[in-house]
Each structure stands twice: as structure tokens, then as C-alpha cells.
Amino acid sequence: MLGKTLVTITLLAFSSAALAQQQQCQLECTRVTQNGETKVTRSCHALDAEQCALVAKADTGGQQTCRGYLTTNCVNDR
């Protein structure tokens, strides 16, 4: 019984770790160019939710507004 419990706990720990590793910080920044065009840039970062929000806040300013959120489907601009 103890062996089955340890196996179950180990599997749960690995599953949780795998899920956490799959989520990335998606940073999306929108800026208005001198021509009045709106440009959106996207980048992925290995950050937790708190750090993701802090980076978005730090990158916001002037003509640029950024937001950061965790996602399992992160997209980088090419």
C-alpha cells in the first residue's frame, strides 16, 4: 500500500511540474508609430505570473502599452 501511495504522489508531482513548465509568460506590446499605425509585438518568457506582470508594467510607457499573461500556447514574433 505504501508503495502505491509513493508512486501516486510521485506521478502527481511530475504531472504538476510538467504543467507548470508548459506555461510561459506571453508579453504583448502595442505601440503607435509616428504614422499612426498600431504595431503589436509578442514574445515568450520563462517567468511566473508575478514576474510576467512586472515585466509588462516595466515595458509600458510612452507610445507603448504592454500586457503579460501565462499561457500554454505562447507565440514569438518572427
Q: For 28-75, how does the pLDDT look when each residue is reduced to its tens digit (9 = 90+)? A: 999 999 999 999 999 999 999 999 999 999 999 999 999 999 999 999
Q: What is the model's pLDDT at position 50?
A: 96
Name the amino acid, one letter, at 63. Answer: Q
- The closest alpha carbon to 25, from 64, 58, 60, 73, belongs to 73
Q: What is the model's pLDDT at position 22?
A: 75
- The Cα 52–Cα 3 span in angstroms is 39
Q: What is the model's pLDDT at position 66?
A: 97
How would you classify residue 42: left for phi > 0, otherwise alpha for psi between -120 and 50, otherwise beta? beta
Q: What is the model's pLDDT at position 21?
A: 56
Residue 6 predicted with pLDDT over 50: no
Cell numbers placing 69: 499573461
Q: What is the model's pLDDT at position 77?
A: 87
